[in-house]
Structure 1
C-alpha cells in the first residue's frame, strides 16, 4: 500500500472541528480523507463486522517523528538487567493484559510502517466487547473442534495424548503439527499466555459446567457457564488488572463514574460516540505491557529449576517461544505469577528488556526492536497524534520532556506510545492521565455497554 499523504489534508471534514469542546472530541474525529469518513458511528448491535476508529484527528506525516528518530529513541530504551527494579504489579498481570488484548482486537491486514489509510476500512477480527470469543470461538455449532460433546471445552488433548507417556495434561489441545486448537491462535504465542488461556479460562469453564450439572440441557448449561465465566473475567479486569496498571488517582474517579453507567461522564473524554476500537488504544496505549516484561522468570519450583530467559539463547535448555507443545516440566506455578508469593513485573516505564530490543528470528526476521516497531506502527502506519497533542486534547497536564526524547531530538514530537510510558514513569510505574485515561476508558466503556454485572458492586447494588 502506497503512502496516501499527498492526497490528504490535515483539516477535519467536520465543520468547526477542534473548537466545540472536550465532550465532542470523539464525535468529530475523522481520517481527514474525504467527507463522510468521521468515526463516531458504531456497528449495529449484533453486527459481525467490526472496524477500527479514531478518537482524535490523524496527524500528518510531516508533523511526525521520522522513522530514524523512532529507531534512535528505541535504541535508548534497553533495560540494564543488573539494575532493573520490580514494579507494583504481579508478573502475571502483563500476560493477563495480553490475553485481554487478544480478546478484543486483531488487526490482520496493515503492514508495519506503511500508511494504513482510513482506519474505518480496517476490519477488527475480534469482537471488541470482552466476551471471551478468543476462548469460545463462535460456539459449538460453528467451531465444534473446541468442544467436547457435552459442551465442555477441550483441554490437554494432543494427537499423541493417549500413547505418549510425556504428554502434558495442562497444555492446550493441538493438531498433528503441534498447533494449538483454540479460539485465537495468538494465545499460544508464548508459554505465559498459553497457560492463562488454558488454566484460567478453559479449566474455569469446565469447572463451572461441572458445578452446573443440574442443568440437563447442554446448550443451556453452556450459556449459563459462559455468562458466569464472563462475569468473573469482568470482575478480574475491574479488581485485579486495572488497579495493577492504572494509577489510583486516575482510576478511582473513573470507577466512581462507571457506577452510574453513563458513558458521557467517564474520565476526560465522552465515550458515548467513541469508536468500538480506537487506534489510539490498540496501536499505542494498550502496548504499555511490553515495558512490564522481565528478562527472566521463575516458572515453577521444580528441583534444580532456575529462572529462565523470555527468549532463550542458543545455549539455554529451556525455550519459551510459543506455537509448539509445552513440556510438562515448564507448566507454570500460578502462585509465582499471581498473589502474595508472585514475582513482580517491571514498572511501566521507558525501559524494555534486551529480549524485546532484539527479538529472535522466530518472532521477527527484520525490524527486531519491538520498541521501534511500536512507535513506527503508531506514528507512521496509523499517523497517531503525538503524546503532546494527545495530552492537550485530553486536557491533561503535560509531562516534562524526557531525557531520552531530548537525546533522540524528538522534542515536541514524542511518539504516543513512548509518551504514555514516560508518563507512567512519572507516576511511579502505573499509567497516568493519558495512558490510564485511554486504557481504563476503553475497558470500562466496554463493561458499561455490556451492562456487566461486575459493575454492580460499584453501584451499591
Structure 2
C-alpha cells in the first residue's frame, strides 16, 4: 500500500497542485506523480512494486467531520449538477477584474507582499496533493461531487502535514542519493546555492559581490532546480524565498559552530542548525504570519486553547479539506499584477522598467525558461526584500492586495499552466483560470458551505445583504443561480467575510479559525516542533549580529543575509 514505506522527501515534476490518487481495488496501483505533473482523467498509473514500497502518503480529512457525515445537507446543491457547475464557472469569471475594472492602486491591504508568498511556501511545505484538475475531473460538463468518505479514501498527501521543511531539507546531507533521482545538494552540511548569471542590462543588486542568490540547478535544458519541491521554482518570489531558507540554514550552521562549540561533529551541528531553522520558521508562522493575515484575537484563542479542532477527535495526522481547497487559498486574492521588485524593475528612476509584472516573475524561473535562455537567474533580477517586508512603507505597491472577492487579471490566464498540447483546448483554458479552478475543486471535493462552517463555529453567517454588498451585478447573478446566496462556496465565503467584516485588511472569523486551527494544530501535533520543546522561544534560537532574536519574517531574512 502507498501508506507503507518511506515518505517522499524530494518532489519533482509536480505541477502546481498535483496530487496522489490511490485505487483501493489494487494496492499496487496508484498515481503518485506523472512525468509532466498531470495525470489523465480517471486513470491509474501502474508503478513497479519496488517503487511503491518506498512511497508513503498521509491523509486528507474534514475538519468539520459532522458536516461531512451529513453530506449533502451542508454542501452546495446536488439536484442539478450541471446548473451548479455553470453557476460556479460564472462566479469564477465574475470575481476576476478586467483591465478596465482594476482598482485604485492606492487601495491595498496593510500586509506587506512577503506574507502572500510566505503563505505559498507554507502550503507547499504542508501539502502536495490537493489540486490536480485532471485527476479530479474538473470540466464544465458533468461534475458530480465525490462523497466525503470517498474523498478521504482516495485523496492522499505526498507531504507530512507538518511545518518541518521537508521541501527544504529533502533527504539531508547524509543520505545516499537514489539512482536516477534528483536530490537536494549539500556542500558538507551546508546547502549548495546557485550563482547568478552576469548580464550587462541594469545594475547589480546589493550586495554586489554576492552572486550566490539563485537556487542550485541542473545543467539541463529546463534549468531544473535541485530543491526538495520544484513547485518552489514556480514564480520568482517563492524561489527567492526558498533561497533565503537555504541561506538561513547555512548561517545557522555558522552560528552553532561559533556559539555552541560543545557540538563537535558534523551530525550534531547539522541537526542543531536544522532544528533552529525549523523552530524559528514554525514560531514565525504562528506569531508573525498568522497574527498578520488573520484576526489576532482568534489566533490567541486557538493558540491558548487546551483542545484543537484539528486533533480533538483523535483522527491522527491529516490535512483538512476545508483548509487546503478553500480557506488557505485566500492568498490568491492578495496576489498583485505587478511588483516593486528591485532597483532595476521597481520604482521609477534609474531602472530598466518601472515595475516587475507577475508574468515576468513567472518567466524568470527554471520553469519559465529564463528569458534569453540564461542558465540561472540573471544578475539584475534578485529581489530586494526591503521592498517586500516594510509594514510602514509609503509606497502602495509594496503591499498585498486586499483580501476580498476581487482577483487580479493575470490570475485568469496563468503562465506555465495548461500548456500540454495533449489536453483539449477547453481543459487547457480552464487550467489557466485560478478562480474557476478553486470553485470547481471545492465542489468536487465536497467542501462544506461557508454558512455551514460558520454555524459549526458558532459564528453568525454572512447575510444576503452582506454577500451583496460591494458585489458586481455579475457576481450577484452567479450567486442567484442554484441558491448560492444561501449555500455559498467556502473559498468565496472566506474572501467575502474578510472583505465585509474586516474591510479586506485580514481574514474574518471563519477564515481565521480554519487557518489558525490547521497551522497551530499541525505544529502541536509534530513531536519535534518548537512547542514540544522545553519553553523554546526565539530568545533560545539564533541571534542577529546585534544580539536580538529573530521575531519577524524581516528578521529571518536579515539573519539569512538577504535583507
**Match of 1:437?**
513
**Match of 1:448?**
524
**Match of 1:378?**
442
**Match of 2:216?**
173
CA distance in 1, matches of 2:310, 2:122: 23
CA contact (8 A) 2:411 2:433 kept: yes
CA distance in 2, matches of 1:320, 1:370: 21
**Match of 1:135?**
168
Query: SS of the residue aligned with 1:346?
Result: coil
CA distance in 2, matches of 1:219, 1:268: 34
Query: SS of the residue aligned with 1:66?
Result: helix
Does residue 346 (structure 1) correspond to residue 401 (structure 2)? The answer is: yes
Does residue 52 (structure 1) correspond to residue 69 (structure 2)? The answer is: no
Query: SS of the residue aligned with 1:277?
Result: strand
Q: Cα distance, 1:180 vs. partner? A: 0.3
CA distance in 2, matches of 1:335, 1:155: 21
- Count the aligned residue pairs: 397
Q: Cα distance, 1:327 vs. partner? A: 2.0
CA distance in 2, matches of 1:223, 1:299: 34
**Match of 1:105?**
127
CA distance in 2, matches of 1:386, 1:274: 25
Distance 1:191 1:149, change over 3 A: closer
Query: SS of the residue aligned with 2:495?
Result: helix
Distance 1:154 1:318, change over 3 A: closer
Q: Which moved more, 1:213-222 or 1:169-178?
A: 213-222
CA contact (8 A) 2:365 2:377 kept: no
Q: Cα distance, 1:248 vs. partner? A: 2.4
TM-score by structure 1 length?
A: 0.78
Paired residue for 2:476, among 406, 413, 423? 406
Distance 1:406 1:394, change over 3 A: same
CA distance in 1, matches of 2:212, 2:108: 32
Q: Cα distance, 1:243 vs. partner? A: 1.1
CA contact (8 A) 2:451 2:488 kept: yes
Q: Cα distance, 1:149 vs. partner? A: 4.3
CA distance in 2, matches of 1:66, 1:318: 33
CA distance in 1, matches of 2:117, 2:433: 20
CA contact (8 A) 1:311 1:321 kept: no
Q: Cα distance, 1:298 vs. partner? A: 1.1
CA distance in 2, matches of 1:89, 1:271: 34
Paired residue for 1:230, among 278, 287, 293? 278
CA distance in 1, matches of 2:310, 2:255: 42
Structure 1 unaligned regions, length at least 5: 1-46
Does residue 212 (structure 1) correspond to residue 256 (structure 2)? The answer is: yes
CA contact (8 A) 2:323 2:515 kept: yes
Q: Cα distance, 1:49 vs. partner? A: 3.2
TM-score by structure 2 length?
A: 0.65
Q: Deviations over 1:63-90 (max 9, x none)?
A: 6771211111112212332424110211
Q: Deviations over 1:391-421 (max 9, x none)?
A: 1222211012322453211221211100010
Q: Deviations over 1:233-261 (max 9, x none)?
A: 0121122210111022322322332xxxx
**Match of 1:182?**
227
**Match of 1:78?**
96
CA distance in 2, matches of 1:212, 1:437: 37
**Match of 1:3?**
none
CA contact (8 A) 1:103 1:133 kept: yes
**Match of 1:293?**
335
Distance 1:133 1:348, change over 3 A: same
Q: Deviations over 1:265-317 (max 9, x none)?
A: x47994654752011111111111000011110111233142121025xxxx9
Does residue 67 (structure 1) correspond to residue 85 (structure 2)? The answer is: yes
CA contact (8 A) 2:236 2:362 kept: no
Does residue 424 (structure 1) correspond to residue 498 (structure 2)? The answer is: yes
**Match of 2:49?**
none
Aligned CA RMSD, in angstroms, stands at 3.0
CA distance in 1, matches of 2:509, 2:536: 25
CA distance in 2, matches of 1:412, 1:147: 52
**Match of 1:307?**
355
CA distance in 1, matches of 2:155, 2:362: 38
CA distance in 1, matches of 2:334, 2:364: 17
**Match of 1:27?**
none
Q: Cα distance, 1:340 vs. partner? A: 4.2
Q: Cα distance, 1:143 vs. partner? A: 6.5
Q: Cα distance, 1:363 vs. partner? A: 5.5
Distance 1:235 1:341, change over 3 A: same
Q: Which moved more, 1:188-197 or 1:342-351?
A: 342-351
Q: Cα distance, 1:204 vs. partner? A: 0.4
Q: Cα distance, 1:385 vs. partner? A: 1.0
CA distance in 1, matches of 2:61, 2:309: 19
CA distance in 2, matches of 1:339, 1:143: 42
CA distance in 2, matches of 1:298, 1:413: 39
Query: SS of the residue aligned with 1:52?
Result: strand
CA contact (8 A) 1:137 1:143 kept: no
